[in-house]
Amino acid sequence: MKIARFSHDGAINFGIIDETDLVVLAADPMFGGFETTGERVPIADAVLLAPVIPRSKVVCVGKNYADHAKEMGGEAPAEPLLFLKPNTSVIGPNDRIVLPSLSDRIEHEGELAVVIGSVARNVRAEDAASVIFGHTIGNDVTARDLQKKDGQWTRAKGFDTFCPLGPVIETEFSLDGATIETRVNGDVRQQAPLSDMIHSVAEIIAYASAVFTLLPGDVILTGTPAGVGPIVSGDTVEVAVTGLGVLRNTAA
């Protein structure tokens, strides 16, 4: 089931995608279930928004693909390398990535994103599926020069607009055979099977939930494959994941 958060006629709602329509839900499905209002809105008449605004945090995993770790000049870590992005960094599909004047090198990082659906603390890897609401696509936009300058990643990863999410949440997503691809102005920059992730989604949830409680609506970005590179004003970044669609944003 594909769930969208959207704006139409001045109101923000959630809906289930049914071919060319959005079947309007009575409430946020993460908390109110999938009861519908009976209204249908043509997708063409709606503006898709970030499918979730994390209540507390975006949890990210660094260097979770061996080739990306190598291109960054190091070995992949033995355990998931966690960092956080603030929820104020989240934007939706077709929103602008604002390039800050503090940085001279902004880079894309296309990633699979996991949306947490229930309070999760000390979750075992074998139970991880029970706390997942669904999956979507993310772009861990990074000010690479500030990342190197600061020696830690908070500022480089945390600017407003540096976490595009969308276009929808798929509640029945399977990683089997799925691939991720990032394109800039149509040119392929990143491409890999999701099976190349060093630490699985279940392992990441277990590891992260042993550190801090994951709350409904929290998002986990699972790492990016090799091929990260710069974006400049006017560039359009597309991140595509099998079964999840395409997340598209333009830098400005």
Instruction: Please state, rounded to an integer, the average pLDDT across all residues of the chain.
Output: 97
Question: Tens of pLDDT along 234-248?
Answer: 999 999 999 999 999
Whether 69 has a pLDDT exceeding 90, the answer reads no
User: What pLDDT score was predicted for residue 203?
Assistant: 98
Looking at residue 123, its pLDDT comes to: 98
Task: Give the C-alpha separation, 251 to 20, whole Å.
Answer: 28
Q: Residue 76 has what pLDDT? A: 85
Q: Are 150 and 138 in contact (CB under 8 A)?
A: no
Q: What is the pLDDT of residue 25?
A: 98
Which residue ranges form the domains of the chain, and what is each CATH number?
2-48 (2.30.30.370), 58-251 (3.90.850.10)
Contacts of 63 (CB under 8 A, 6+ apart): 69, 72, 74, 76, 77, 81, 223
Cβ atoms 252, 217 nearer than 8 A: no
Q: Side-chain half-sphere of 168: how many Cα atoms within 13 Å?
A: 20
Secondary structure (H, E, C), the chain: CEEEEEEECCEEEEEEEECCEEEEECCCHHHHCCCEEEEEEEHHHCEECCCCCCCCCEEEEECCEHHHHHHCCCCCCCCCEEEEECHHHEECCCCEECCCCCCCCEEECEEEEEEECCCECCCCHHHHHHHEEEEEEEECCEEHHHHHHHCCCHHHHHCCCCEEEEEEEECCCCCCCCEEEEEECCEEEEEEEHHHECCCHHHHHHHHHCCCCECCCCEEECCCCCCCEEECCCCEEEEEECCCEEEEEEEC
Return the exposure string of 64-93: e unless at least 16 CB atoms fall within 10 Å of the residue's CB, then b. Answer: bbeebbeeeeeebeeebbbbbbbbebbbbb
pTM for the full predicted model: 0.97
Q: Is the pLDDT of residue 75 over 90?
A: no
Q: How large is the average pLDDT for residues 13-38?
A: 97
Kindly indicate the confidence band of residue 225, based on its pLDDT and cuts at 50, 70 and 90: very high
pLDDT in tens, 149-182: 999 999 999 999 999 999 999 999 999 999 999 9
Q: Summarize pLDDT for 82-139 with one digit per residue, the tens.
A: 999 999 999 999 999 999 999 999 999 999 999 999 999 999 999 999 999 999 999 9
Closest Cα to residue 112, out of 251, 198, 252, 240? Answer: 240
- The tens digit of pLDDT for each residue in 31-54 reads 999 999 999 999 999 999 999 999
Structure confidence at residue 55 (pLDDT): 87
CA 192 – CA 50 distance, rounded (Å): 24
Q: What pLDDT does residue 107 have?
A: 98
Q: Tell me the average pLDDT across 182-197.
A: 98
Residue 74, pLDDT above cutoff 90: no
